[in-house]
């Protein structure tokens, strides 16, 4: 195992990684921007290094500054968390060139999966069902029209480099297609510096169901069952749970999806933790949409139902240990739900709502876990993602998890900041949610 690692991230995920390191005796080095000097992840780490001004390009995305901090503090490895540089193969190579270990998959597989059009083709080749769509990137509007015609409208124009729901636009008919393409290109260009796009059939009212996988460097891989993440706004998750209510609804669905996910892992020689994302149609058909080559925001629900620490496994695998878990060692215990607490206003089209946290009291209780990146007197700035904490509730049944979550959210005190907590409470009481019947467009129709 490593003696020490640097965490190239901030907020709740940096704090969460530090927690595992403490429990297994690994020294931690945090990095932070000028805006984050008093952040909890800085206080929690054994050492902390300021790496630049608030803006991410000058601090958290500044490879040189991060690598300098790693060298100065003599760490063995770097954990990238999620977002920021976690899916950047250039960064992985720079880490390795500096003689350090990157805690995550190899850069080649990251490159493959990071190009969503290429990943789709690769998955299809590996026998994984994909959404009907273009064979790879689409060159221009004329080609797009032909493809959309043969698929049938509505179609989704998606950026190959996309992530976070960015660069994805719906075209209901041919008239709307040109505009959808233009918007995708513009947004993809500014967010990722890459205008490449592809087209998928728009699956109506799907669920988002994903499989957590873990593989070591000797080709041994296991899955940690599924998570459902259908409560979304702007194609981004807000509430996640494990297991998925769809698994009880459709016979054999879990079995087929986990097999497909492991087939992709095997074909791509994937290593470390990853998530294979699918959408599931209302009639129980599933289709691959992408693979995320990192730890996922919603990984805690999986940890709650399996009793495993995914970050600890990431570290062990990166340190060269083989995966001492067989698939039979893993089983599902009860049900878990995660509510992402965002500093945003659901009544104002979910716009970010930065501000000062004057009071912060986290809920406790049976089955409750809170992963947070803030505390009292933290200033939520507009520089970063408005995710400030995650509340996770575990229960023997899904209903018990929901009830525990409601109690926890009612007890949570967040002074003076506008958050989506009231929205969570409303959703947790809606019949469709309680019945396990929501699709990815449902939340936005409730708040429009
Ligand atoms: P996930 O795919 O893990 O569920 P999302 O889809 O919500 O996460 O996030 C979309 C993208 O934004 C991902 O690349 C994720 O890593 C990134 N992201 C989300 N929240 C944060 C955050 N607090 N800080 C940095 N990056 C983030
Ligand atoms: P990102 O890389 O931004 O996470 P994904 O491809 O994972 O993009 O898709 C994000 C979300 O967009 C999905 O969870 C789903 O809600 C919706 N989505 C993606 N592809 C389709 C599709 N073909 N049909 C319907 N909805 C889709
Ligand atoms: Mg996704």
Q: All domains of the chain, ordered by start, with CATH? A: 4-103 (3.40.50.20), 132-201 (3.30.1490.20), 207-446 (3.30.470.20)
Report the alpha-carbon distance of residue 309 to residue 224 in Å, rounded.
Answer: 11
pLDDT in tens, 208-260: 999 999 999 999 999 999 999 999 998 999 999 999 999 999 999 999 999 99
Pocket flag, ligand 2, residue 240 (CB < 6 Å): no
Kindly give the distance from the C-alpha atom of residue 88 to the centroid of ligand 1, in angstroms, as a whole number.
14
Kindly give the distance from the C-alpha atom of residue 225 to the centroid of ligand 1, in angstroms, as a whole number.
21
pLDDT in tens, 172-214: 999 999 999 999 999 999 999 999 999 999 999 999 999 999 9
Q: Which of 206, 298, 385 to mutate to test the pocket of ligand 2 (most atoms within 8 A of CB)?
A: 206
Q: Could you state, in chain order, the average pLDDT of each consecutive group of 10 residues for the chain (448 residues)? A: 98 98 98 97 98 97 98 98 97 98 98 96 97 94 96 96 92 96 95 95 97 98 98 95 97 98 98 98 97 98 98 98 97 98 92 96 98 96 96 98 98 95 97 97 88
pLDDT in tens, 111-145: 999 999 999 999 999 999 999 999 999 999 999 99
Comparing CA positions, the residue from 412, 407, 371 lying closest to residue 391 is 371
Q: Whose atoms come closest to the Cα of 86: which ligand? A: 1
Report the alpha-carbon distance of residue 235 to residue 244 in Å, rounded.
Answer: 18
pLDDT of residue 88: 96
Q: Whose atoms come closest to the Cα of 87: which ligand? A: 1
Pocket flag, ligand 2, residue 382 (CB < 6 Å): no
* 75 token code pair: 């760490």
87 CA: nearest ligand 1 atom: 14
pLDDT of residue 65: 98
Active-site residue flag, 19: no
Report the alpha-carbon distance of residue 445 to residue 148 in Å, rounded.
Answer: 26
Pocket flag, ligand 2, residue 206 (CB < 6 Å): yes
């Amino acid at each position: 195992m490593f003696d020490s690692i640097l965490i190239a991230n901030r907020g709740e995920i940096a704090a969460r990684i530090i927690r595992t390191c403490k429990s297994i005796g690994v020294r931690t080095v945090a990095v932070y921007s000028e805006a984050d000097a008093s952040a909890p992840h800085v206080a929690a780490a054994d050492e902390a290094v300021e790496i630049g001004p608030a803006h991410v390009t000058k601090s958290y995305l500044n490879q040189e500054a991060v690598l300098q901090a790693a060298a100065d503090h003599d760490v063995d490895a770097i954990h990238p968390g999620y977002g920021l540089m976690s899916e950047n193969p250039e960064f992985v190579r720079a880490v390795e060139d500096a003689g350090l270990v990157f805690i995550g998959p190899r850069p080649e597989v990251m490159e493959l999966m990071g190009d969503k059009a290429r990943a789709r083709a690769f998955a299809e080749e590996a026998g994984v069902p994909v959404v009907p769509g273009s064979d790879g990137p689409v060159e221009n509007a004329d080609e797009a029209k032909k493809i959309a015609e043969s698929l049938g409208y509505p179609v989704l124009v998606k950026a190959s480099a996309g992530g976070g729901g960015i660069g994805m636009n719906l075209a209901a008919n041919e008239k709307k297609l040109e505009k959808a393409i233009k918007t995708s290109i513009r947004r993809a260009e500014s967010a990722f510096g890459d205008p490449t796009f592809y087209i998928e059939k728009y699956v109506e009212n799907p669920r988002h169901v994903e499989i957590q996988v873990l593989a070591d460097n000797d080709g041994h891989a296991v899955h940690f069952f599924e998570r459902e993440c259908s409560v979304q706004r702007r194609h981004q998750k807000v509430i996640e749970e494990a297991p998925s209510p769809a698994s009880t609804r459709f016979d054999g669905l879990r079995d087929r999806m986990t097999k497909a996910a492991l087939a992709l892992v095997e074909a791509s020689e994937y290593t470390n933790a990853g998530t294979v994302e699918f959408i599931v149609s209302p009639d129980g058909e599933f289709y691959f949409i992408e693979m995320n080559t990192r730890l996922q925001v919603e990984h805690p629900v999986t940890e709650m139902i399996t009793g495993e620490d995914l970050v600890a496994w990431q570290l062990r695998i990166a340190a060269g240990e083989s995966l001492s878990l067989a698939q039979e060692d893993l089983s599902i215990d009860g049900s878990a739900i995660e509510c992402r607490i965002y500093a945003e206003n659901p009544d104002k089209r979910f716009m970010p709502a930065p501000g000062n946290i004057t009071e912060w009291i986290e809920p406790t209780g049976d089955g409750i876990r809170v992963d947070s990146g803030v505390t009292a007197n933290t200033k939520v700035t507009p520089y970063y993602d408005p995710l400030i904490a995650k509340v996770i509730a575990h229960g023997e049944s899904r209903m018990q998890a929901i009830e525990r979550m409601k109690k926890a959210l009612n007890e949570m005190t967040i002074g003076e900041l506008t958050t989506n907590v009231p929205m969570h409470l409303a959703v947790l009481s809606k019949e469709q949610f309680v019945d396990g019947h929501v699709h990815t467009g449902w939340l936005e129709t409730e708040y429009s």
